[in-house]
Chains A and B, each alone.
Chain A
Amino acid sequence: MSTKTYDAEIASRLIAEFDARPEMLIQVLHAFLERFGWISEAAIKQLADELNLSRADVHGVVSYYHDFRTSPPGLHVVKICQAESCQAMGSRELSTHAEKSLGLSMHTSNEALTLEPVYCLGNCACSPAVMVDGKTYGRVTAERFDDIVATLGEQR
């Protein structure tokens, strides 16, 4: 995880890539998320300073959007779609299975994994869908879910 430690210099460089334009705040936050994994208090302060916004402005954006997590995630992020199309194909049962087999409830993390709900991955003709570390999986049965998670274990 050391490469993901917050670094003010790297942060400054990321902000500069967007010409420090305040209207690019959401895009800069995505860049922070990709680089550091989460949005820390230090990040919020630096963003406010360098984009010439108040900390309240930045905090308002960070807290409004689901994507911008404010605590460190696990090594891998597992998102299970909870929207209607996936519900029609058993996502409630799949979520229960995932919570049980991972020993996590939705919106919680351990060192290895973060488990989150997501509302539609746009893969609705292959429901239910799951996203792991940004990769979408379709037609996910409980068995296939276990297989996907098992491959993550090998990568650890």
Chain B
Amino acid sequence: MPRPRIFVPRETAAISVGADDVAVEIARVAKQGANSVELVRNGSWGASWLEPLIEVEVDGRRIAYGNVGAADVAGLFAAGFLTGGPHDRRIGPIDEIPYLINQDRWTFWRCGLIDPLSLDDFRAHQGFNALEKAFAIGPDAVIDAVKASGLRGRGGAGFPAGIKWQTVAATESSQKYIACNADEGDSGTFSDRILMEGDPHGLIESMLIAGFAVGASRGYIYLRSEYPLARSILTRAIATARQAGWLGKNIQGSGFDFDIDLHIGAGSYVCGEETAMLESLEGKPGIVRYKPPLPAHEGLFGKPTVVNNVVTLASVPNIVNLGGEKYAGYGVDRSTGTLAFQLAGNIQRGGLVEKAFGITLRELINDFGGGTASGRAVKAVQVGGPLGAYLSPDQLDTPLDYEAFTEIGAMIGHGGIVVFDDSANMALQARFAMEFCAIESCGKCTPCRIGSTRGVEVIDRIIAGENPDANYDLLVELCDTMEDASLCAMGGMTPYPVRSVLQYFAEDFASAREADG
């Protein structure tokens, strides 16, 4: 009789609430009771609110138990969980959990399902099928598929990936690069991390396809230092792939050479901006470059470079497998396909929800998220990270679609959704937006470097009640200057959250004063 398989995620969120302790305890209790079990450390399904979410395989079906602590383990064994026995923590079959089955899992479908460090498991779940197909159909057909998919950059800028790839492919050079942006710095976002920790070989395959399509032989992953587990998983996955001949010279006899270097960032938010990232990859301070030249023409070390976010790249294998038209069938208008939305902040059921564009914020927050964690009313929702506007509750029916968000002065960005309940003071959030910009500005352009510091001061004066009307006007003017004259999105979009607070939550300036005494 095969040993029962138990899945305990090796993923940051799960481990942050005790998954490692659960794994150790399962091994201990199993040994004590002379039960032989196979412990698989899978990735996360993304239902972070249920973490640690462990599963046991019974007759080929995986039964989930949620919010399991080490203290629950002995009781689970006693309740017969190896055969899917009833227990307070039992949720039921993983493939019946509404939060998961109501998603459109195009890019994240292997996350949670497989053992991220097993190349065999990856291969058994279509791993490298898309690369093999790419070798068969050739670079032009790959680029055509990406163009047909309408896939846009998931890092936040939303630039069509196919056009970028075509530009790099068409630029003559002895050396080209694929630079994967894994500097996921926006608060409220963790989709890159879940993918890298749950399906690292999927990212490697994606970069191989990109390299093959544009004629690049070298790839870099720029990973933020705040993700030590992703670093260790990627390091091991790259080594495994190299050993098995999926990275290096003449990959699987195709004649195509490609290898990947993993670079670790050093705590700078602005290095998520593509040109600052390139500077950092070259070992320099992450100071943004003027554009043009575009990185597609002169990128890393002055060579043509595809700079794509993790999720953008990871969406490609299924586009190659299933066709760009299939992907374009999801979504609305020019926002085709799916986005990995991330429910965060004050939310009952936080986690990753990959869903076709067009769903509304209200549906995501209520139907998937179950409302606030505190049970209080939603006051504001910040979408798209620290540079995204704070939306008021009456804007929650806006469909998630790049253009619809632009129209209301907001942005989807990398898909992070941070919910605040009615205990939040939004004037403090406006102040933080300026403060964060002052901390993280690279310093190259004046509106961002100086404007952010002046912004904090002006907001402090408004809160303190010093000439509030005049200072309010001054703040609006400062926002105009930063927006119009900054070099990149850091200074150029910091005004978004500030303006939204002025527009929808202006009364909070007075209440911040009262709270301050």
Contacts and interface: CB of A to CB of B under 8 A. Distances in A.
Interface string A70-108: 000000000000011111110000000000000000000
A64 B227 CA distance: 20
B268 A65 contact: yes
Contacts of B382: 84
A147 B333 CA distance: 51
A119 B420 CA distance: 18
Interface in B281-295: 281-287
B283 A122 contact: no
B418 A136 contact: no
Main secondary structure of the interface of A (DSSP, over half): mixed
Contacts of A121: 12, 226
Contacts of A42: none
A84 B419 CA distance: 9
B188 A124 contact: yes
Interface in A121-141: 121-127, 129, 131, 134-139
B228 interface: yes
Interface string B405-442: 00000000000101111001000010010001001101
Nearest to B262: A27
A121 B48 CA distance: 14
A15 interface: no
Contact of A119 (B266, B287, B440): B440
A16 B15 CA distance: 34
B420 A88 contact: yes
B185 A85 contact: no
B345 A66 contact: no
Interface in A24-70: 24-27, 29-30, 60-61, 64-68
B274 interface: no
Interface residues of A, number: 40
Nearest to B433: A84
B266 to A, nearest CB: 3
Interface in B322-370: 342-347, 350-352
A89 B419 CA distance: 9
Interface residues of B, number: 63
B187 interface: yes
Contacts of A29: 266
B225 interface: yes
Contacts of B188: 83-85, 124
A120 interface: yes
B13 interface: yes
Contacts, number: 150
A118 interface: yes
Contacts of A137: 16-17
B195 to A, nearest CB: 12
A85 B187 contact: yes
A26 B266 contact: yes
B282 to A, nearest CB: 5
Contacts of A85: 187-188, 344-345, 416, 418
Contact of B344 (A23, A64, A67, A124): A124
A30 B264 contact: yes
Contact of A84 (B192, B263, B286, B432): B432
Nearest to B271: A65
A144 B227 CA distance: 22
A122 B386 contact: no
B190 A123 contact: yes
Contacts of B393: none
B16 A129 contact: yes
A26 B280 contact: yes
B404 interface: no
A137 B228 CA distance: 13
B187 A60 contact: no
A65 B266 contact: yes
Given A83-B187, A120-B226, A64 B13 contact: no
10 contacts: A64-B287, A84-B188, A84-B432, A85-B416, A87-B432, A88-B424, A119-B269, A122-B192, A124-B344, A135-B15
Given A124-B189, A136-B16, 7 more contacts: A23-B281, A64-B268, A84-B429, A119-B185, A123-B16, A125-B342, A136-B15
Interface of A: 22-27, 29-30, 60-61, 64-68, 83-89, 118-127, 129, 131, 134-139
Please name the 5 residue pairs, one residue from A and one from B, whose CB atoms are nearest each other, closest first.
Answer: A125-B350, A83-B187, A125-B48, A65-B266, A138-B16
